[in-house]
Amino acid sequence: MFERYTESARRALFFARYEVSTLGAIEIGSEHLLLGLLREAKGLAGSILDEARVSREAIRRAIEESATFLETLPASTEVPMAPAAQAVLQAAAEEADRLLHGYIGTEHLLLGILRVDDSPAAALLTRHGLRLDDARQTLARLSGTPAHHPASRVGNLTLARTMDLYTQLLTAWNRRDAQSFAALFAETGSAVGFDGSQMNGRVEIETSLRGIFASHQTASYIAKVREIRPLGSDAVLLRAVAGMIPPGSQELNPAVNAVQSVVLVDDPGGVTIALLQNTPAAFHGRPELAQGLTEELSAVARAGRIVEPP
């Protein structure tokens, strides 16, 4: 469940569990998540709170004064999440997706708390002067990303949609389906191959691939996405490392490892690929990097995945 969480966010959740035992609660509430964020000094959530001049001492004092001591739980006890806390985690994931972040950090947890505006933690933050829109604006300034990402306005360039389209692309190649592969591109989209060859336009991409698939037993792709980030108001850049498994083999061919850059656009016809760029990951003179990439991609293949998210 917490694979996407940063180390800092995981520590905040650990501290939230600790606060439950300290305050004698029997479940993790939104207020405990907030206390966990107050304890985690390395995350962006702390910076957002400091920018808003929210007193950590005042927040802690208010929560402690309102706590009703029930019982002290042993450290080994599995503590359930209260409904409000579950809603916070869901909202945090949605905030990360809205920003096209492949991870969930303390900043997303803080936004998640503010999203669940009927929770004790959100009410407390609001009374101390921090609102959701203000927190989003501060995060945008601190991280250099748009406060209202195009995905929230356009509605189609979400993290999930971007990952899905890239997975469809590699799946179509692996199935040697030229028509499905080309259909994912914009009408004027382009693909640049590993050897530098270029295919411009959906029609040329399909025609060229039909010839390639007819004359060659092509290898299959597996990939690990490194980054997904916005480019303006209606475009997204996906960067991934990719490997190829030759026909009849279960092992990657390290000689054709590559870096793939994919630009996706949201136009009146829907989300399509404007550019696919393949760059050889040769790492000339640095064999340890080449070997490390091969091992990383081999792990993706052993897990039975085509694409692994960031």
Among 268, 230, 215, smallest CA distance to 151 is for: 230
Residue 44 near residue 106, CB atoms below 8 Å: yes
Q: Given a cut of 70, is residue 144 above it in pLDDT?
A: no
pLDDT given for residue 68 in this prediction: 66
Q: Which of 95-99, 240-244, 285-289 has the lowest mean pLDDT?
A: 95-99
Question: What's the whole-model pTM score?
Answer: 0.58
Mean model confidence pLDDT for the chain: 87
CATH of the domain at 206: 3.10.450.50
Cα atoms found within 13 Å of the Cα of residue 60, Cβ hemisphere only: 13
pLDDT given for residue 4 in this prediction: 82
In a domain, 181, yes or no: yes
pLDDT given for residue 114 in this prediction: 95
Do both 141 and 159 map to the same domain? no
Do both 75 and 33 map to the same domain? yes
Distance of CA 12 to the CA centre of its chain: 19
In a domain, 2, yes or no: no
| Burial degree of 207 (CB within 10 A; 0-12, 13-18, 19+) | middle
Summarised one tens digit per residue, pLDDT across range 13-41 is 999 988 888 787 778 999 999 999 999 87
81 bridge partner residues: 28
Question: Which range marks the domain in which residue 294 is found?
Answer: 154-308
Do both 160 and 214 map to the same domain? yes
Q: Given a cut of 50, is residue 62 above it in pLDDT?
A: yes
Q: Give 220's pLDDT tier (boundaries 50, 70, 90).
A: very high
pLDDT given for residue 103 in this prediction: 83
Do both 170 and 125 map to the same domain? no
More confident of the two residues 146 and 112: 112
Average pLDDT over residues 152-164: 67
Boundary residue ending a domain (86, 119, 148): 148
Q: Give 73's pLDDT tier (boundaries 50, 70, 90).
A: low
Do both 209 and 257 map to the same domain? yes
| 235 to 59, 82, 186, 204: CA distances (angstroms) | 40, 38, 12, 23
Average pLDDT over residues 76-85: 81
